[in-house]
Amino acid sequence: MGEKLGILGPVGTHSEDAAKYLIEYLGDGRQCVCFGEIFDALRALEQGEVDAALVPVENSLEGSINITLDVLSGSDDLTVVRELIWPIHNFLMGNSPADKVKKIYSHAQPISQCRRYLREHYPKAAVFTTSSTSKAAQIAAEAAPEAGAAAICPERAGLINGLSVLAEEVQDNMNNSTRFFEIRRRDDSTTAAPPEICQKILVVCQIDGQKAGSLCEVLLEFSRRGINLTRIESRPARTRLGEYIFFFDLEIGANAENMRAAITAVRQKSIWLKEVGTFPVIVAADETR
């Protein structure tokens, strides 16, 4: 039996579309297993119910997916093995005419990505948050036509549930994409990608927030060695108010010694530090643009 890849479901979500692309790109024939929440997919991975999980970590319009970062920072058993950058296209879909829409359902991220569109076109519509875009499509499909229910979702999710397209590309910015991490268990023998194709290292650490300039000192360790940071993110350490965990995406360059030296220096300035993954980046082709 082939491997199982945990994703945010049900069928038709952006996560499933991204997973199907990745499986075809890699040609590995994995089976997608849908979960109701991102946390559930990651927990299933930790418990060995699936072999890997493909979960969103950041959207270009709305920022980080906090649950993914929190699970990665709190687990010693998981590692990032691959990043996929996936273009996002949001559709308004329903079973009643566009001018009769009274209720709109979607996941919190697409709702935020389409805030201006909703304000301009449906200022009086009630907007409801769902666990996924596919769940939103299911709810809209189950409503009576006179209820005026619609969903913001991928086109495929709407079609699967028998909905019609009411409006295309309703996101506020056409340059809308989501970064996904493929995550595996560290004890998985297939975890490591060949070093020659890896492009990033994800480092997570906690520094002393009570010490003035502590973050600056950490950043200088990367800067003075010519290490490019493609992303910095902070999350509460969940210990005391004002204490934070920092996530650093480091671009792998030609000088491996400088990278090692920088990480070692930052480790010495941190309360704790761990490398969450060294991985390649796949940018999905967007044939619609």
Q: Are residues 49 and 159 in the same domain?
A: no
Count: domains in the chain: 3
* Residue range 105-126: mean pLDDT, rounded: 94
Tokens of 123: 């200022």
| pLDDT: which is higher, 280 or 176 | 280
Q: Identify the pLDDT of residue 187.
A: 86
Task: Tell me, yes or no, whether 182 and 56 share the same domain.
Answer: yes
CATH label of the domain that carries residue 34: 3.40.190.10
Q: Is residue 286 part of a domain?
A: no
Q: Would residue 177 be called left, alpha or beta, if left means φ above 0 and alpha means ψ between -120 and 50 degrees?
A: beta
Work out the pLDDT band at 18, boundaries 50, 70, 90: very high
Same domain, 80 and 183: yes
Q: What is the structure's pLDDT at 102? A: 95
> What burial letters (b/e) apply to 155-173, b meaning 16+ CB within 10 Å?
bbbbbbbebeebbeebbbe
Using alpha carbons, list the distances in angstroms from residue 217 to 211, 224, 257: 10, 11, 20
99 neighbors 37 (Cβ within 8 angstroms)? no
The share of the chain scoring above pLDDT 70, in percent, equals 95
- For residues 35 and 139, membership in a common domain is answered with no
* Domain match, 111 and 147 both: yes
In a domain, 37, yes or no: yes
pLDDT higher at 129 or 243: 129
Q: How far is CA 222 from CA 93, 136, 172, 216, 259, in A?
A: 47, 43, 35, 10, 8
Q: Same structural domain for residues 71 and 131?
A: no
| 3-state DSSP assignment of residue 241 | coil
- Indicate whether 155 belongs to any domain: yes
236 and 130 co-located in one domain: no
**64 within domain boundaries:** yes
pLDDT, residue 131, reads: 87
Over residues 125-154, the mean pLDDT reads 94
CA distances from 130 to 43, 44, 48, 121, 135 (A): 20, 21, 27, 21, 6
Is residue 147, in this structure, part of any structural domain at all? yes
The residue range of the domain holding 133 is 91-167
Angle at 268 (CA atoms; ends 208, 218), nearest 5 degrees: 60
Q: Are residues 32 and 159 in the same domain?
A: no
Check whether 289 has a pLDDT greater than 50: no
Domain-located, residue 68: yes
pLDDT at 6: 97
Q: At residue 96, does pLDDT exceed 80?
A: yes
Tell me which amino acid residue 29 is: G
Q: How large is the average pLDDT for residues 93-103?
A: 94
**In-domain check, residue 77:** yes
pTM of the model: 0.86
Is pLDDT at 41 greater than 50 in this prediction?
yes
Q: Is residue 62 part of a domain?
A: yes
The helix or strand, by DSSP H or E, that contains position 94, with its residue range, turns out to be: strand 91-94
Distance CA 18, CA 134 (A): 14
Query: Which of 117-131, 162-176, 208-222 ranks highest by mean pLDDT?
Result: 117-131
- Which whole number is the average pLDDT over 183-204? 80
How many CB atoms sit inside 10 A of residue 118's CB?
A: 19
| Confidence at 283, pLDDT banded by 50, 70, 90 | very high
